[in-house]
Amino acid sequence: MNKINIGQEFENIAYNYLLKNGFKIIERNFTCKIGEIDIIAKIDNTLVFVEVRGKTSGDPREAITENKIFRVRRMAEFYLSKYKLWDEDIRFDAILIKKTGSEYHIDHIPEAF
Protein backbone atom coordinates (compact mmCIF):
# COMPACT_ATOMS: atom_id res chain seq x y z
CA MET A 1 0.00 0.00 0.00
CA ASN A 2 1.49 3.36 -0.96
CA LYS A 3 1.62 6.55 1.13
CA ILE A 4 -1.44 8.11 -0.56
CA ASN A 5 -3.58 5.01 0.01
CA ILE A 6 -2.49 4.80 3.65
CA GLY A 7 -3.34 8.49 4.12
CA GLN A 8 -6.78 7.94 2.60
CA GLU A 9 -7.28 4.93 4.87
CA PHE A 10 -6.54 7.05 7.95
CA GLU A 11 -8.83 9.84 6.72
CA ASN A 12 -11.66 7.32 6.14
CA ILE A 13 -11.22 6.00 9.67
CA ALA A 14 -11.34 9.54 11.05
CA TYR A 15 -14.39 10.36 8.90
CA ASN A 16 -16.31 7.33 10.21
CA TYR A 17 -15.21 8.07 13.78
CA LEU A 18 -16.55 11.63 13.53
CA LEU A 19 -19.87 10.48 12.06
CA LYS A 20 -20.31 7.91 14.85
CA ASN A 21 -19.66 10.64 17.41
CA GLY A 22 -22.32 13.06 16.18
CA PHE A 23 -20.34 15.27 13.82
CA LYS A 24 -21.82 16.43 10.53
CA ILE A 25 -19.18 16.36 7.80
CA ILE A 26 -19.17 19.61 5.84
CA GLU A 27 -16.23 18.92 3.56
CA ARG A 28 -13.33 16.56 3.05
CA ASN A 29 -9.98 17.50 1.59
CA PHE A 30 -10.66 21.23 1.24
CA THR A 31 -7.84 22.47 -0.95
CA CYS A 32 -6.53 25.97 -1.49
CA LYS A 33 -3.20 27.44 -2.60
CA ILE A 34 -1.78 27.02 0.93
CA GLY A 35 -2.58 23.33 1.22
CA GLU A 36 -5.37 21.02 2.34
CA ILE A 37 -7.62 20.67 5.36
CA ASP A 38 -8.41 16.99 5.89
CA ILE A 39 -11.93 17.31 7.28
CA ILE A 40 -14.25 20.22 8.06
CA ALA A 41 -17.11 19.18 10.31
CA LYS A 42 -19.73 20.66 12.57
CA ILE A 43 -20.88 19.63 16.01
CA ASP A 44 -23.48 21.59 17.92
CA ASN A 45 -22.83 25.13 16.68
CA THR A 46 -19.09 24.78 16.24
CA LEU A 47 -17.25 24.49 12.95
CA VAL A 48 -14.35 22.08 13.45
CA PHE A 49 -11.22 21.95 11.31
CA VAL A 50 -9.79 18.46 11.72
CA GLU A 51 -6.19 17.49 11.07
CA VAL A 52 -5.78 13.72 10.63
CA ARG A 53 -2.42 12.13 11.27
CA GLY A 54 -1.73 8.43 11.17
CA LYS A 55 1.34 6.29 11.56
CA THR A 56 2.20 2.64 11.24
CA SER A 57 5.38 3.23 13.25
CA GLY A 58 6.26 6.04 15.60
CA ASP A 59 4.00 8.62 17.22
CA PRO A 60 1.48 10.43 14.97
CA ARG A 61 1.79 13.51 17.24
CA GLU A 62 5.23 14.10 15.75
CA ALA A 63 3.60 14.97 12.41
CA ILE A 64 1.78 17.98 13.85
CA THR A 65 4.54 20.56 13.68
CA GLU A 66 4.39 24.29 14.37
CA ASN A 67 4.54 24.87 10.61
CA LYS A 68 1.58 22.50 10.05
CA ILE A 69 -0.45 24.28 12.75
CA PHE A 70 0.32 27.66 11.16
CA ARG A 71 -0.73 26.41 7.72
CA VAL A 72 -3.98 24.83 8.96
CA ARG A 73 -4.91 28.07 10.71
CA ARG A 74 -4.20 30.06 7.52
CA MET A 75 -6.28 27.63 5.44
CA ALA A 76 -9.12 27.95 7.96
CA GLU A 77 -8.99 31.74 7.64
CA PHE A 78 -9.19 31.37 3.87
CA TYR A 79 -12.15 28.97 4.18
CA LEU A 80 -14.00 31.30 6.57
CA SER A 81 -13.38 34.25 4.28
CA LYS A 82 -14.38 32.37 1.12
CA TYR A 83 -17.74 31.34 2.60
CA LYS A 84 -18.21 34.50 4.71
CA LEU A 85 -18.42 32.52 7.96
CA TRP A 86 -16.71 35.03 10.26
CA ASP A 87 -19.40 34.69 12.96
CA GLU A 88 -18.92 30.92 13.31
CA ASP A 89 -17.54 29.43 16.48
CA ILE A 90 -14.53 27.39 15.40
CA ARG A 91 -12.00 25.00 16.83
CA PHE A 92 -9.10 22.91 15.62
CA ASP A 93 -9.11 19.19 16.44
CA ALA A 94 -6.58 16.49 15.74
CA ILE A 95 -7.35 12.85 15.15
CA LEU A 96 -4.27 10.72 15.65
CA ILE A 97 -4.37 7.15 14.44
CA LYS A 98 -1.80 4.50 15.24
CA LYS A 99 -2.00 1.31 13.18
CA THR A 100 -0.46 -1.81 14.67
CA GLY A 101 -0.98 -4.86 12.51
CA SER A 102 -4.68 -4.83 11.70
CA GLU A 103 -5.67 -2.79 14.77
CA TYR A 104 -6.18 0.96 14.95
CA HIS A 105 -5.93 3.18 18.00
CA ILE A 106 -7.77 6.49 17.58
CA ASP A 107 -6.93 9.49 19.75
CA HIS A 108 -9.29 12.45 19.22
CA ILE A 109 -7.95 15.69 20.65
CA PRO A 110 -10.52 18.50 20.65
CA GLU A 111 -8.98 21.98 20.57
CA ALA A 112 -5.59 20.46 19.76
CA PHE A 113 -4.18 23.80 18.63
Mean pLDDT of the chain: 93
Count of alpha carbons within 13 Å of 1, Cβ hemisphere only? Answer: 8
Give the chain's largest Cα–Cα span: 44
Within the chain, residue ranges assigned H as helices are: 3-20, 66-82
Are 3 and 92 in contact by the 8 Å Cβ rule? The answer is: no
Q: Give me the pLDDT at residue 1, please.
A: 58
What is the pLDDT, as a whole number, of residue 73? 96
Number of H helices, E strands in the chain: 2, 5
- Domain 3-109 fold is Trna Endonuclease; Chain: A, domain 1 (3.40.1350)
Domain ranges of the chain: 3-109
How confident is the model at residue 3, as a pLDDT? 62
For the cut 80, the answer to whether the pLDDT of residue 32 exceeds it is: yes
Mean pLDDT of 47-58: 93
Q: Confidence band (pLDDT; 50, 70, 90) for 4?
A: low
Q: What is the pLDDT of residue 60?
A: 87
Residues 59, 41: Cα–Cα separation, whole Å: 25
Instruction: Return the closest-CA partner of residue 23 out of 8, 44, 38.
Output: 44
